[in-house]
Amino acid sequence: MAEKLIIFDTTLRDGEQSPGASMTREKKIRIARQLEKLGVDVIEAGFAAASPGDFDAVKAIAETVRDSTVCSLARASENDVRRAGEAIKPAKSGRIHTFIATSPIHMKHKLRMNEEEVVERAVAAVRWALEYTDDVEFSAEDAVRSEMDFLVRVFTEVIKAGARTLNVPDTVGYSIPAAWGERIRQLIERVPGSDRVIWSTHCHNDLGLAVANSLSAVMNGARQVECTINGLGERAGNASLEEVVMAVKTRRDVFNLDTRIDTTQIVATSKLVSSITGYPVQPNKAIVGANAFAHESGIHQDGILKHRETYEIMRAEDVGWNANKLTLGKLSGRNALRSRFAELNIEFPNEEAFNAAFQRFKELADRKSEIFDEDLQALASEETVEHINEHYRLVYLRAHSETGILPVAKVVMNIGEKQFDAEMQGGGPVDAAFKAIEKIVDSGTELQLYSVNNITSGTDAQGEVTVRLAKGGRIVNGQGADTDIVVASAKAYLDALNKLCSNAERAHPQV
């Protein structure tokens, strides 16, 4: 029988460290449920000590998820570990993941601690964590630039203290596959008691090698891979879950390992994460990109038609492409909509929110002949608790564009209970709409990114817009969806402004 490879998903923690990707509690719960359905073994639900909001989100996920272990990150400090321990208490299976940096550069400049102090703290953190759960993971941050002898010493001590999983991170994405595999092999060989623990790897993608490095670690004995959906994560991101899982599955002849992942849920998970975080997936991205299974060239198409395996090493349906169900139509009733939302793990805070979603569904069905799950996901995102209570809300938009004249947009919006309107010209209708909003709000923000993607195919598809705004060192992504992309853009802009309004302070675990 093949050995098992543990899939540890950190979309909700490392993924959330991507600029502007921070998520609300409700959205994190939606992703966590989907990760559970996908079959990930461990969900790193967040960093509980970052803020009261983060604590609540980890706790809520621990209360909700039953089939995956729920984990919280904690720096190697008593307060962090205890916050993590409290947050995962309701979990059926809970883990604390504690870490401290072990490289000379981090110890000297960031921690200002010597080797003795780092070992002492690592051991203490594992012991504090064991007061809450026997499932304790320890990471040696920046292991890639740590001295081998010191790494061996730290890992030896934390095993003695009771850590069950030892994670070796390439925090800065510096390694190359052969060297990374060799590092893992040597650690397993040199650390006493290494056969009693699971060795794990956590690779960043700064050189585009995160997946290759992770797989090399696996070939050298790692039995847990830390990864994220769509490769989301700090800077260039983490190893992408879908790529790691499909490599191990497709090349079982090489790895001889099994995962618990239901690969048919991969595309749905990717789409959900992309729409919630506002990070679009590039079309040529492996596995989940729109072109990943598209065969353009005539020669390839001919080959595929004659015998599929001439050019395909995986089947699109095995990762959930084409599972895209035509769910509902114009004549569908409230019960049909309610049960489809339930199947998609979408809950509404109250009946009023469901009614509003039903109303929007009917409007959408009037404009769009076929309604898919992705349309419902986008529609539901706008009727969550935080949207209902939002400060800025679009009431009305009119945009006019015509060749030869400057486009103009009129926006009517609510700020709290009051209504305002403005009309502006712009380089295009979207620009005009943004200018009209700014005339009303005067936010002082900087627009860092604007992107539009179609949620499904066809010219009647909803456009999903992401707007990234920055102000005073904070960066947020706003999303909006509509069959009219000017309306979607205005909604995305207001969504970003609403996120900037909620000025919750959060600590970054690694800074």
Tell me if 171 contacts ligand KIV by CB under 6 A: yes
Q: How far is the CB of 202 from ligand KIV (least distance, A)?
A: 5
Sign, CA torsion 338/341/347/348: negative
Least gap, CB of 224 to ligand KIV (angstroms): 12
20 binds, among ligand KIV, Zn ion, none (CB under 5 to 8 A by kind): none
As a whole number of angstroms, the longest Cα–Cα distance in the chain is 76
User: Could you please report the per-residue DSSP string of 381-405?
Assistant: HTTSHHHHT-SEEEEEEEEEEETTE
Question: Which residues from 116-155 bind ligand KIV, rule CB under 6 A?
Answer: 139, 141
What is the torsional sign of CA 492, 496, 502, 508? positive
* Residues engaged in binding Zn ion (CB under 5 A): 14
Residue 153: CB atoms within 10 Å? 18
Instruction: Give the one entry of ligand KIV, Zn ion, none that residue 237 binds, where binding means its C-beta sits below a cut-off of 5 to 8 angstroms depending on kind.
Output: none
Q: Which residues pair with 44 in a beta bridge?
A: 71
Give the Cα separation of 463 and 481 in Å (integer).
Answer: 6
Residue 183 interacts with, from ligand KIV, Zn ion, none (CB under 5-8 Å by kind): none
Which one of residues 46, 85, 94, 169 is an interface residue with ligand KIV (CB under 6 A)?
A: 169
The nearer residue to ligand KIV, 204 or 387, going by C-beta atoms, is: 204
Assign 3-state DSSP to the chain and report helix, strand, coil percentages, each to 5. 45, 25, 30
Q: Which two tokens stand for residue 13?
A: 């923690």
Q: Is the dihedral angle over the CA atoms 332, 337, 343, 344 positive or is it negative? A: positive
Rank residues 239 and 292 by Cβ distance to ligand KIV and give the closer one. 239
Partner from Zn ion, ligand KIV, none binding residue 72, C-beta < 5-8 Å depending on class: none
Binding mask 69-108 for ligand KIV (x = CB under 6 A): ------------------------------x---------
Q: Is 68 helix (H, G, I), strand (E, B) or coil?
A: coil
> Which partner in ligand KIV, Zn ion, none is near 139 (CB below 5 to 8 A by kind)?
ligand KIV
99 versus 372: smaller Cβ distance to ligand KIV: 99
Beta bridge partners of 369: none
Place of tokens 């997936």: 281
Least gap, CB of 167 to ligand KIV (angstroms): 6
- Residue with smaller CB distance to ligand KIV, 401 or 510: 510
End-to-end CA separation in angstroms for the chain = 43
From the list Zn ion, ligand KIV, none, which binds 231 (C-beta under 5 to 8 Å, kind-based)? none
Structural tokens at position 310: 């001439």
- Establish if 434 lies at the interface with ligand KIV (CB under 6 A): no
Please, which residue, 139 or 456, has the CB nearer to ligand KIV?
139
Cite the DSSP H helix spans in 347-428. 351-367, 373-381, 385-388
Smallest distance from the beta carbon of 101 to Zn ion, in angstroms?
A: 12
Closest separation between CB of residue 244 and Zn ion, Å?
15
Question: Which residue, 227 or 409, is less far from ligand KIV as judged by CB?
Answer: 227
Q: How far is the CB of 17 from Zn ion (least distance, A)?
A: 7
Q: Note whether 496 and 468 are within 8 A (CB).
A: yes
Residue 99 binding: pick among ligand KIV, Zn ion, none (C-beta 5-8 Å cut-off by kind) = ligand KIV
Cβ-proximal residues to 46 (8 Å cutoff; 6+ apart), any chain: 12, 13, 16, 28, 54, 57, 58, 61, 72, 73, 87
Indicate which of Zn ion, ligand KIV, none lies near residue 69 (CB less than 5 to 8 Å, by partner kind).
none
Which pair of structure tokens corresponds to residue 174?
Answer: 């510096």
The residue type found at 200 is: S
Angle of helix 373-381 versus helix 266-277 axis, rounded to 10: 30
Residues of span 11-30 touching ligand KIV by CB under 6 A: 14
| Residue 225, both tokens | 């891979």
Choices 126-134, 164-172, 360-368, 403-411 (CB under 6 A): range interacting with ligand KIV: 164-172
Long-range contacts of 77-80 (CB under 8 A, 24+ apart): 77/121, 77/125, 78/124, 78/125, 78/128, 79/49, 80/48, 80/49
Residue 141 binding target from Zn ion, ligand KIV, none, CB below 5 to 8 Å by type: ligand KIV
Q: Which CB, 306 or 508, lies closer to Zn ion? A: 508
Q: Which stretch binds ligand KIV (CB under 6 A): 24-32, 166-174, 209-217, 378-386?
A: 166-174
Return the residues of window 202-261 that contact ligand KIV according to CB under 6 A: 202, 204
> CB 265: neighbour CB atoms within 10 A?
20
Binding site for ligand KIV (CB under 6 A): 14, 99, 139, 141, 167, 169, 171, 202, 204, 509-510
